[in-house]
Amino acid sequence: MTFAPTVSDEVRALVPGFTHVAVEAHDLVNGPSSEESSALLDEAARRLAARLDGRAPHEDPHMTAWRAAYTAFGSKPSRTRNSAEALAKRALSDAALPRINLLVDVYNAVSVARLIPVGGEDADRIQGTMRLVRATGDEDFVTVAGGEETVEHPDPGEVVWRDDLGVTCRRWNWRQGPRTRLTEDTTSGFFLLESLEPMAVAEVEEAAAELAALLERFSPGAKVTVHPAA
């Protein structure tokens, strides 16, 4: 299976200037967070602080663009932050960045250091084609609340990632569902790096190259492909 995510015309019209780069990786070896992946996250937090130079994450032009995009589809960006801003805010606080597992640590580090939303999906858990669409409100989003599995539905018009079974990530890149998350059993992963103008396409491509190199470092022998920006 080759990862070829699609973006609907409705989303393109709502937020012109959206770009994504997909990184496909097979023969991965995941596991618990390690000293090496923890050090990578600490270094990402230092890179972020240098990049912002005293500014808050939402003051960065790329994060400002994401806030405008969230507002465009009816979400409140100060309450439901895009994934990069949420991680950046935590990285600059007294709370350490979460340590999840090796693969998640790696893509979170790239997201924080570069201020780019990055998501990772278990390729074996995706059904059909991943697509970015505006929701009708009838789609299922399977999540966990209070320790129990529950089904939610996105708001009509909300921008969501979905596959043939239902929504995999709500509010664009705000909350991923557990069905397609990267776990310690994951051996094939799809990673999406998402950007908006004014970030240059070359910058998100550089971030994708950095992610690919890290995946190869943490999973020697993995087959990693960076797809062209779309």
Q: What CATH code is carried by the domain that includes residue 57?
A: 3.50.40.10
In whole angstroms, how large is the CA radius of gyration of the chain?
16
Q: 215 in a domain, yes or no? A: yes
Q: 111 in a domain, yes or no? A: yes
- Percent helix / strand / coil, the chain, rounded to 5: 35, 20, 40
Q: Is 1 a residue whose pLDDT tops 70?
A: no
Dist CA 201 CA 157 (whole Å): 27
Domain holding 111, by residue range, is: 6-226
Average pLDDT of the segment spanning 139-153: 90
Q: 51 in a domain, yes or no? A: yes
- Of 28, 216, 193, nearest to 123 by C-alpha is 28
Average pLDDT of the segment spanning 192-207: 98
Which pLDDT band, with edges at 50, 70 and 90, does 145 fall under?
Answer: confident
Q: 20 in a domain, yes or no? A: yes
- Of 2, 22, 3, 26, nearest to 186 by C-alpha is 26
Q: 58 in a domain, yes or no? A: yes
pLDDT digits (tens, 9 = 90+) for 93-141: 977 899 999 999 999 999 999 999 999 999 999 999 999 999 999 999 9
Q: 1 in a domain, yes or no? A: no
Q: Is 220 a residue whose pLDDT tops 80?
A: yes
Q: Is 204 a residue whose pLDDT tops 80?
A: yes
Q: 50 in a domain, yes or no? A: yes
Q: Are 88 and 56 in contact (CB under 8 A)?
A: no
Kindly tell me the burial class for residue 112, based on how many C-beta atoms sit within 10 Å of its own C-beta (0-12, 13-18, 19 or more).
buried
Q: 175 in a domain, yes or no? A: yes
What is the number of domains present in the chain?
A: 1
- Of 69, 35, 95, nearest to 157 by C-alpha is 69
DSSP annotation of 155 reads: P
- Of 86, 114, 89, nearest to 214 by C-alpha is 114
pLDDT > 90: what percent of the chain? Answer: 93
